[in-house]
């Protein structure tokens, strides 16, 4: 049987992009809604500390995820390239090498986690009565996750072959089955271990389902130790290694807030923060589920660069140093005004002004270096992909997160009851933070697709430094609200920095960027103001009535947003594409 894949797959990449993005969002919406509805049920069987402990398991697992980011991106990028070039046999070699690579990593991770267990238990101040349970959960989730890491290549090979809808169908069905398993295990009295059993069941179903579909699409696809080779190992180490660094930083950034909060304020505070984070995190997952197809699509496009020379490794390293110095100088400016610090800084105003001046000087120097040394991307197709993807993301973000901000307190009360008022305040600030941060998703996926990861590294450095300095300070002084505010501020600064740098690369001016990518999303403020006024004029105290009010306001908000976008924002081409995505059957012509 021939391993050649039809060349027209390359031509279909752009056509499949919108459908793949929407299918990913629909699958994620189904998954997240089911999870949100499940949370009150879980809290009936688990204490807040047990809920925080389960959340902590996935913080620890996130460090295992550090080893998979580069591998996943390598699967997607190079299977997309092989698909476009008709090199089906190389996909099997890529997969076999990736499985061997991740199996070795998983063994190493589980061994290290087992040896470090006493240190982990002491670091998070887990009571002796709960240490045996915590060890079981930590090691159990690590073992299950290792299976997903090792065999997850089938899932990402599907993504590289532009079969996102099939992959999403598998994960959606497995997720719904997991929910039924969770409810059953909890009802039978399994406690928090029931969540572990259901988690294992879901990952087993996902792995088997993606394996089966991948083999049907590409019958020649196989995994064998004979196919492991140095060429593909170098891809995982080379391209994958660069993305790996970014993945490590991304995982760190996604978990550092809960690590600081749990360490400073305890497991109960971590549980409260998790409740406030749940809805914004779910909304973020819906928006980010549309990013995946951008990597494989960008990998198909050949970008054209200007005649300016590429910066050398030394020059790029110098740029990173100045980015770090600028971020540190800026980070210390607000810290000196905090009460615990003021007693040691009688000249705080002078220090703050000095920090701002240093940050500005370093930033201006970095700007000059950018103008003098960097290349520019002149690909019209990539530029359009860049602008349209940010525009689409910001519109989706605005619909989701502006609603969460305007309905924060009614939503929390309707969802989990009125025992968690602080969670609503956390949700408002995190919704602002995530809505800003998520517009970087399309940018980073496009740069990964064309193997240009420097912009993402700069962005990660800025955000990491700001979060490490601002979150502990905010948590210490203002508690959970201070932590959420610190996350919002660090996200805003780092995102603006990435957009500025990326616009320079794509040669996009401020006047061109704002009307296309930013202003359309602001129209959602009109329906948001309307539903906010409704909840203020007619506040509800009975939970059932409040649930009805939230559902009614949510339905009206979505319809109002859709009407405004259709009338005033979407152009004719966008309207045509939107209609094509609707599941409507064409009537036969008589």
pLDDT class for 156, splitting at 50, 70, 90? Answer: confident
Say which DSSP state 377 is in.
Answer: B
What pLDDT, in 10s, does the model give residues 556-581? 999 999 999 999 999 888 888 777 66
Q: What are the counts of helices (DSSP H) followed by strands (DSSP E) for the chain?
A: 26, 0
Q: What φ, ψ does residue 311 adopt, rounded to 5°? A: -60, 145
With a cut of 70, say whether residue 509 has pLDDT above it.
yes
Say which DSSP state 519 is in.
Answer: G
Q: Which two tokens stand for residue 138?
A: 């930590």
With a cut of 50, say whether residue 387 has pLDDT above it.
yes
Residues 6 or more apart in contact with residue 250 via CB below 8 angstroms: 69, 460
| Residue 228 backbone zone (phi > 0: left; psi -120 to 50: alpha; other: beta) | beta
Q: Are residues 246 and 195 in the same domain?
A: no
Section 100-111 average pLDDT:
87
- List the domain range (segments joined by +) for residue 133: 1-237
Q: Taking Cα atoms as reference points, which of 76, 102, 96 lies closest to residue 230?
A: 96
Count: domains in the chain: 2
Q: Are residues 201 and 286 in the same domain?
A: no
pLDDT class for 391, splitting at 50, 70, 90? Answer: very high
pLDDT class for 435, splitting at 50, 70, 90? Answer: very high
Q: Are residues 162 and 297 in the same domain?
A: no
Q: What φ, ψ does residue 588 adopt, rounded to 5°? A: -65, 145
Q: Are residues 232 and 245 in the same domain?
A: no
Q: Are residues 266 and 231 in the same domain?
A: no
CA distance 170 to 188: 27
Say which DSSP state 345 is in.
Answer: -
pLDDT attached to residue 5:
39
Q: Which of 210, 237, 264 is the last residue of a domain?
A: 237
Q: Are residues 34 and 120 in the same domain?
A: yes
Query: What count of other Cβ atoms lies within 10 Å of the Cβ of residue 173?
Result: 16
305 bridge partner residues: 377
Section 117-122 average pLDDT:
85
Cα angle 56, 180, 212 (rounded to 5 degrees) comes to: 90
Q: Taking Cα atoms as reference points, which of 197, 209, 223 lies closest to residue 137?
A: 197
Q: Are residues 114 and 261 in the same domain?
A: no
Residue 285 forms part of a structural domain: yes
Residues 6 or more apart in contact with residue 415 via CB below 8 angstroms: 36, 39, 40, 279
Q: Are residues 223 and 252 in the same domain?
A: no
Residue 389 forms part of a structural domain: yes
CA distance 550 to 561: 16
Q: Taking Cα atoms as reference points, which of 481, 445, 473, 204 lies closest to residue 331?
A: 473
Q: Taking Cα atoms as reference points, which of 116, 169, 107, 119 lies closest to residue 143?
A: 107
Residue 497 forms part of a structural domain: no
CA distance 379 to 136: 52
Q: Which of 237, 252, 271 is the last residue of a domain?
A: 237
What pLDDT, in 10s, does the model give residues 457-490? 889 889 999 999 999 989 988 899 999 999 999 9
With a cut of 80, say whether residue 64 has pLDDT above it.
no
Q: Which of 183, 206, 237 is the last residue of a domain?
A: 237
Q: Are residues 129 and 176 in the same domain?
A: yes
Q: Are residues 429 and 400 in the same domain?
A: yes
């Amino acid at each position: 049987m021939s391993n050649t894949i039809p060349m027209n797959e390359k031509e279909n990449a752009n056509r499949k992009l919108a459908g793949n993005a929407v299918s990913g969002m629909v699958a994620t919406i189904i998954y997240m809604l089911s999870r949100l509805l499940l949370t009150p049920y879980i809290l009936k069987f688990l204490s807040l500390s047990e809920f925080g402990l389960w959340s902590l398991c996935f913080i620890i697992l996130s460090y295992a995820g550090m080893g998979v980011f580069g591998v996943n991106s390598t699967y997607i990028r190079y299977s997309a390239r092989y698909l476009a070039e008709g090199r089906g046999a190389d996909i099997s070699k890529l997969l076999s090498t990736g499985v061997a690579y991740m199996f070795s990593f998983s063994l190493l991770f589980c061994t290290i986690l087992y040896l470090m267990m006493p240190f982990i238990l002491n670091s998070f101040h887990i009571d002796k009565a709960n240490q045996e349970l915590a060890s079981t959960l930590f090691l159990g989730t690590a073992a299950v996750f290792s299976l997903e890491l090792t065999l997850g290549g089938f899932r990402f090979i599907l993504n590289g072959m532009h079969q996102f809808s099939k992959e999403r169908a598998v994960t959606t069905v497995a997720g719904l089955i997991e929910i039924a398993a969770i409810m059953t295990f909890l009802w039978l009295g399994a406690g928090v271990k029931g969540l572990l059993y259901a988690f294992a069941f879901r990952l087993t179903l996902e792995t088997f389902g993606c394996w089966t579909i991948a083999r049907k699409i590409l019958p020649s696809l196989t995994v064998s130790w004979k196919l492991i080779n140095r060429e593909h190992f170098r891809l995982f180490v080379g391209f994958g290694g660069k993305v790996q660094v970014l993945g490590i930083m991304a995982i760190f950034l996604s978990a550092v807030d809960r690590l600081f909060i749990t360490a400073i304020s305890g497991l109960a505070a971590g549980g409260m923060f998790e409740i406030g984070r749940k809805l914004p995190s779910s909304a973020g997952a819906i928006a980010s589920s549309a990013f995946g197809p951008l990597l494989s699509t960008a990998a198909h496009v050949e970008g054209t660069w200007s005649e300016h020379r590429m910066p050398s490794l030394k020059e790029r390293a110098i740029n990173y140093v100045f980015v770090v110095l600028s971020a540190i100088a800026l980070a210390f400016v607000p810290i000196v005004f905090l009460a615990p610090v003021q007693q040691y800084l009688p000249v705080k105003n002078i220090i703050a002004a000095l920090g701002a001046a240093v940050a500005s000087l370093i930033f201006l120097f970095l700007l000059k270096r950018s103008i003098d040394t960097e290349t520019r991307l002149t690909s019209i197709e990539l530029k359009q992909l860049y602008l349209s993807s940010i525009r689409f993301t910001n519109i989706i973000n605005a619909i989701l997160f502006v609603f969460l901000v305007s309905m924060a307190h009614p939503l929390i009360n309707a969802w989990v009851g009125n025992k968690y008022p602080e969670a609503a305040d956390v949700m408002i600030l995190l919704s602002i933070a995530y809505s800003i941060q998520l517009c970087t998703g399309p940018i980073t996926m496009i740069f990964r697709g064309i193997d240009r990861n420097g912009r993402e590294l700069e962005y990660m450095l800025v955000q990491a430094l700001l979060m490490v300095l601002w979150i502990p300070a905010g948590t210490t002084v203002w508690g959970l609200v201070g932590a959420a505010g610190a996350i919002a501020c660090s996200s805003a600064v780092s995102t603006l920095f990435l957009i500025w740098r990326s616009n320079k690369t794509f040669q996009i001016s401020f006047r061109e960027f704002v009307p296309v990518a930013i202003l359309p999303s602001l129209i959602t403020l009109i329906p948001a103001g309307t539903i906010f006024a409704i909840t203020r004029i007619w506040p509800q105290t009975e939970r059932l009535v409040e649930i009805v009010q939230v559902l009614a306001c949510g339905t009206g908000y979505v319809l109002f947003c859709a009407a405004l976008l259709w009338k005033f924002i979407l152009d004719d081409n966008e309207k045509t594409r939107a209609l094509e995505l609707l599941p409507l059957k064409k009537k036969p012509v008589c």
